[in-house]
Structure 1
Amino acid sequence: MSVSPSSAAELPAAADIALAYHARTRHSLKRYAAGPETLDWDAQPNPFRDFAGSPRTALPLTSDRLATSFAEACNGTAPVQPLTIDSVALLLELSFGLSAWKEFGPDRWALRCNPSSGNLHPTEAYVIAEHVSGLGDGLHHYVSRVHVLEQRCRRAMASTNEPRLWLGLSSIHWREAWKYGERAFRYCQLDLGHAIGAVSYAAAALGWTARVVDGLDGSRLAALMGLDRASDFAGVEAEDADVLLAITPRDAAAGAPPPLPSAAAIDDDWTGQANRLDRHPLYRWPVIAEVSAATRGGGRDAAAAPPPHPPRASPSPARAAELILGRRSAQRFDAKFTMALAAFHQLLDALLPRAAPPWEAWPFTPRLHPLLFVHRVEGLTPGLYALPRSGEAQSDLRRALRAEFDWQRVARAPDRLPLFQLLPTDSRGVIRTASCHQAIAGDSCFAVAMLAEFAPLIRETPWRYRQLHWEAGLIGQVLYLEAEAAGLRGTGIGCFFDESVHEMLGVAGTDHQTLYHFTVGRPLADDRITTLPAYPGRTRNESGALP
């Protein structure tokens, strides 16, 4: 990872801040990380940001018309759609749009295509468009609640007429901190990883590629997204500029990557004032601002890219839009259900990096490796398993984990799948306890602890602290959609007792850390909850204006 000389002197202090934050926000059996002592759900922050005074463009809802299968999206063979406002609307609908409303008694809440810790949704999406038919050049903010784009900045573009598109993603940390306190910065970064995955799958369904733009300076990204305009955010919750994704039609992706969007110009026309989300915040968590500042920026991965894994075998033929819009987080699992071995192998195979969606979006060496607590998988002995996602990781994990682990290659696994049995055991109770006593960790068919290569990477480049969480969220997004494709369901778990998990695995020191848990199983529905349309009064094949 390369670092500019001017910032090199600041790195040790910044890395120390990031590592200290992570240590400070570990949960343990003796205490949870600092958080609010009480929650008033009637005073929850507004889950939707908008900009008063910005002109709005109503977007069509057309996902019902998209015939692309999930297999075509995963294999990169979907028909290529033109870059127009209608296709951009579909990209946003399938990545950040609402998928449904839920009601239980007097409570009503929205579900979105991109999952979020606690359904709090700190991630905001911005569109940067150049010569996209039907869409004004410049910067737009997406409002998922009503499926519209707000034009924040009109910008004169270069003379070329080639259409170009980028998505910028930001975080509003207070949305998570309101509920989770100091640990919220972690959850915001996990959500960004899910969002990157959501964009990659949605783009692939349109015959496009989505790629993280690496090496982009944080201050330039903030300027491109208008997040450095203090007057537009006066008295309201700030947004952190996190990542830029270049969106390219697949038939053009083989050429040189598109240049970065045009920089701000003196004749830019800015409009809009950000709304306030929480008028009466009860707590402040200054450590979040500290770790955010310490890990801001970006970098390039100097490590050699791993050899790509072979193409996946037989992804689901189901319609991609149907799977994406149908994704849900399971609240309870059938504790007696056993999943098929072939489905288990399919899920794990999808986690291996390859030159196909969603991994083509990720220009970085894999640094997270799933440790699997298998409870009920057909033909597989219950116990602890490991899936090293790079060739070097196997020997690294052997050194990092308990010396007595077996490391037996699973004979029934496909040759392409580096799956190892570490310990045959009934792990339902220990992983339930380690996952903050959540029953879903033990009632699932299997649970995952994502172990990251950690402190040495962060000491070299503090921005890696964010990036490692993004990779964890991206793995989670793959598990979500692959579980849906298998007729099952997943749930991400951000609450776990860090040190208990490390002790269980034999992890000492900070060279490795577990960053995210996930579970997969057969869900049990709660019939008391009512499901309502995402956009009442509109059908998902409608192209007209909002009512």
Structure 2
Amino acid sequence: MDKPQEKTAPDRVRQYHQRSKHHLNRYARGPGGLDWATQPDPFRRYEGCDYVDLPLTADSLQTPYPALYRPQAIPPQPLTLETVAALFELSFGISAWKQYGESRWALRCNPSSGNLHPTEAYGIFPNLAGLPGGVYHYVSYDHRLEQRCRFPPNSSEPSLPEGALLVGLSSIHWREAWKYGERAYRYCQHDVGHALAAVAYAAATLGWSVRLLPHWSDDDIATLLGLNREADYRGAEQEHPDLVLLVGPNLEGFEALPPESWLAKAAAGQWQGQANALSPHHRFEWPIIEEVAEACRKPPTQETPWCAPPLPEPLPTRDRFLAAHLIRQRRSAQALDGVTAIPAPTFFRMLEMTLPRPGCPPWMAWPWAPRIHLALFVHRVEGLSPGLYLLMRRPDVPLQTALGEEFLWQRPDHCPDHLALYQLVEGDARRAAGIISCHQAIAADGAFSLGMIGEFEEALDAGPWGYRRLFWEAGLIGQILYLEAEAAGVRGTGIGCYFDDALHQTLGLRGTQFQSMYHFTLGGPLEDTRLQTLPPYAHLPERRRA
């Protein structure tokens, strides 16, 4: 008798995606309740490491938010301990504490599903004053770099642009699985996209650029960051490699930085530190998460960066914000007022900022063509009639043939020519938006909400790791909308709970050529006055404040 044929990696990804969908009559498999006794520690630490306390320097940055979108407008700052500190403070640092009664929890500059923060950040540095060359893990609670690996003294430095460093990202899947079960892998990938964008925005405040290094394999990243050192994680939750970024000024010509010399330095370096266990035990295990992670494991690849077409200057936004202040005031709205409207030019500005814009954050860090498009439920945009709209972020995508035939495909009045925005249906879309987003009122109570439609099959054709990239791109867009909402005087929030196929049916999509990857909403926030807001680093000694 013939043995059943083993599923290919892309088929295992398809199986996971279908299995992790929420449906109108049932939700994806999860724990069914929260076991507070096993809630993961939100801060990973490596015991036994030397460390460097970083100064709090972000307040000294005077970069206006609109200047981030004017390439070469911000003079690049030198690579020093102080600028490294600002980079990590504005990308992964604590932005505030919230307190209710005896409970207190941290908010960070990079958003996260459920505020669970599966993403860990690493810096890989040449020798700097006060920071010996090596691999460092960032601890946001202490605003500290733990030295995981000290590079051999007097060894030759791998080729880097002057004033540049590497930043590595990894994910601890358990942090999300504790609350969300099998759907957690999706949320971890969303958070990688948010984190990638957070690094790009933080770097831009310093006049720096960011390049994602797409040809590195997961094994390369794991070796450089020490994630494959099994003894260092004995009894602790494992981290999975995500990506490596080149960060600094004048990065032209370094898009294909080879990993070999860096891996050699890591292999010859002196490693230290033992990872802390985040939970005393795991009440539930979700093996399908590790199965899809293995299916999405990326080998070394040869990739040609996509060149984004030029765009006109963006529509204006309020310029009273310094970029550092805006980044740190970003919050996820918990409820929206159902009243606040935004003007059409503000709406168009938000949409155009989701288009790849060469040389600007966060798109300077993104080497691939857009594969995410926006289905928009417009509720309260002055100058636009309510209804269902579609923004094609790459106009040559065949969405018009994939969607149902009954749609209007009407261009809104005064819409900028470079926005491929169409109204599909005119009418009150609030009820549909709320139902599709797991019956959450927040999707109906904003100025608009949206679902991010990914080119699912085309992404898998490039390799099963393309599945992760769809979520990364969606998270990147989410971070743009978070900051644009703050700049417009409203507030946004990502929505991970939605009925996937209900959105597909609303759009007339059949098959799996396109799939819903993430949802988002924004509008006038309702503040919970029961909560106290406390400063982010009041618990650190005053001597560390710049």
Q: Would the alpha carbon gap of residues 232 and 538 (structure 1) be closer, same or farther in structure 2, given more than 3 Å must change?
A: closer
User: Structure 1 vs Structure 2: percent identity of aligned residues?
Assistant: 50
**1:513 and 1:232 mapped to 2: Cα distance?**
38
The aligned counterpart of 1:388 is 392
Contact 1:402 1:506 in 2 (8 A): yes
1:389-446 Cα shifts (integer Å, max 9, x gaps):
11212xx110111111111111221222221111102110011011011110000110
1:33 is paired with a residue whose SS is coil
Deviates more, 1:101-110 or 1:299-308: 299-308
The aligned counterpart of 1:325 is 328
1:45-56 equivalent positions in 2, closer than 5 A: 45-56=40-51
Gaps of 5+ in 2: none
Contact 1:132 1:164 in 2 (8 A): no
Cα drift, residue 310 of structure 1? 2.7
1:377-397 Cα shifts (integer Å, max 9, x gaps):
00110001111111212xx11
Cα drift, residue 537 of structure 1? 4.3
1:486-497 equivalent positions in 2, closer than 5 A: 486-497=488-499
1:60 aligns with 2:64: no
**2:218 and 2:206 mapped to 1: Cα distance?**
29
The aligned counterpart of 2:174 is 174
The aligned counterpart of 2:428 is 426
1:88-107 equivalent positions in 2, closer than 5 A: 88-107=84-103
**1:300 and 1:439 mapped to 2: Cα distance?**
45
Cα drift, residue 516 of structure 1? 0.3
What letter is aligned with 2:252? A
**2:317 and 2:145 mapped to 1: Cα distance?**
33
Q: Would the alpha carbon gap of residues 241 and 540 (structure 1) be closer, same or farther in structure 2, given more than 3 Å must change?
A: farther
Cα drift, residue 242 of structure 1? 0.4
1:419 is paired with a residue whose SS is strand
Q: Would the alpha carbon gap of residues 311 and 213 (structure 1) be closer, same or farther in structure 2, given more than 3 Å must change?
A: farther
**2:142 and 2:363 mapped to 1: Cα distance?**
30
The aligned counterpart of 2:368 is 364
2:444 is paired with a residue whose SS is helix
1:430 is paired with a residue whose SS is helix
Deviates more, 1:307-316 or 1:273-282: 307-316
What letter is aligned with 1:170? S
The aligned counterpart of 2:283 is 282
Contact 2:372 2:453 in 1 (8 A): yes
1:61 is paired with a residue whose SS is coil
**1:472 and 1:307 mapped to 2: Cα distance?**
20
The aligned counterpart of 1:254 is 252
Deviates more, 1:45-54 or 1:10-19: 10-19
Contact 2:315 2:345 in 1 (8 A): no
Contact 2:54 2:544 in 1 (8 A): no
Contact 2:336 2:446 in 1 (8 A): yes
The aligned counterpart of 1:354 is 357
The aligned counterpart of 2:454 is 452
1:17 aligns with 2:12: yes
**2:98 and 2:82 mapped to 1: Cα distance?**
27
Contact 1:152 1:270 in 2 (8 A): yes
The aligned counterpart of 1:374 is 378
1:201-234 Cα shifts (integer Å, max 9, x gaps):
0000110011111111111110001001000001
Q: Would the alpha carbon gap of residues 304 and 327 (structure 1) be closer, same or farther in structure 2, given more than 3 Å must change?
A: closer
Cα drift, residue 29 of structure 1? 0.9
Contact 1:311 1:354 in 2 (8 A): no
**2:350 and 2:6 mapped to 1: Cα distance?**
38
What letter is aligned with 1:439? A
Two-structure CA RMSD over aligned residues (Å): 1.9
Contact 1:61 1:540 in 2 (8 A): no
1:273 aligns with 2:274: yes
1:406-485 equivalent positions in 2, closer than 5 A: 406-485=408-487
2:530 to 520, 528, 531: 528
Contact 1:61 1:539 in 2 (8 A): no
Contact 1:11 1:461 in 2 (8 A): no
Q: Could you state the TM-score of these two structures normalised by the residue count of structure 2?
A: 0.94
1:111 to 107, 111, 124: 107
What letter is aligned with 2:35? D
Cα drift, residue 255 of structure 1? 4.1
**1:239 and 1:131 mapped to 2: Cα distance?**
26
Cα drift, residue 59 of structure 1? 0.2
2:262 is paired with a residue whose SS is coil
1:201 aligns with 2:197: no
**2:168 and 2:227 mapped to 1: Cα distance?**
11
**1:63 and 1:540 mapped to 2: Cα distance?**
15
1:35 aligns with 2:30: yes
Cα drift, residue 305 of structure 1? 3.4
Contact 2:96 2:533 in 1 (8 A): yes
Q: Would the alpha carbon gap of residues 525 and 539 (structure 1) be closer, same or farther in structure 2, given more than 3 Å must change?
A: farther
Cα drift, residue 259 of structure 1? 4.9
The aligned counterpart of 2:78 is 82
Q: Would the alpha carbon gap of residues 129 and 314 (structure 1) be closer, same or farther in structure 2, given more than 3 Å must change?
A: same
**1:439 and 1:324 mapped to 2: Cα distance?**
26
The aligned counterpart of 1:240 is 240
Cα drift, residue 30 of structure 1? 1.0
**2:302 and 2:18 mapped to 1: Cα distance?**
26
Q: Would the alpha carbon gap of residues 267 and 338 (structure 1) be closer, same or farther in structure 2, given more than 3 Å must change?
A: closer
Q: How many residues align?
A: 531
The aligned counterpart of 2:156 is 158
Contact 1:65 1:541 in 2 (8 A): no
What letter is aligned with 1:518? F
Q: Would the alpha carbon gap of residues 353 and 300 (structure 1) be closer, same or farther in structure 2, given more than 3 Å must change?
A: farther
Q: Would the alpha carbon gap of residues 477 and 543 (structure 1) be closer, same or farther in structure 2, given more than 3 Å must change?
A: same
Contact 1:334 1:444 in 2 (8 A): yes
Q: Would the alpha carbon gap of residues 90 and 306 (structure 1) be closer, same or farther in structure 2, given more than 3 Å must change?
A: closer
Contact 1:223 1:264 in 2 (8 A): no
Cα drift, residue 153 of structure 1? 0.2
What letter is aligned with 2:531? I
**1:303 and 1:111 mapped to 2: Cα distance?**
34
Contact 1:453 1:512 in 2 (8 A): yes
2:288 is paired with a residue whose SS is helix
**1:456 and 1:524 mapped to 2: Cα distance?**
40
What letter is aligned with 1:254? E
What letter is aligned with 1:44? Q
1:122 aligns with 2:118: yes
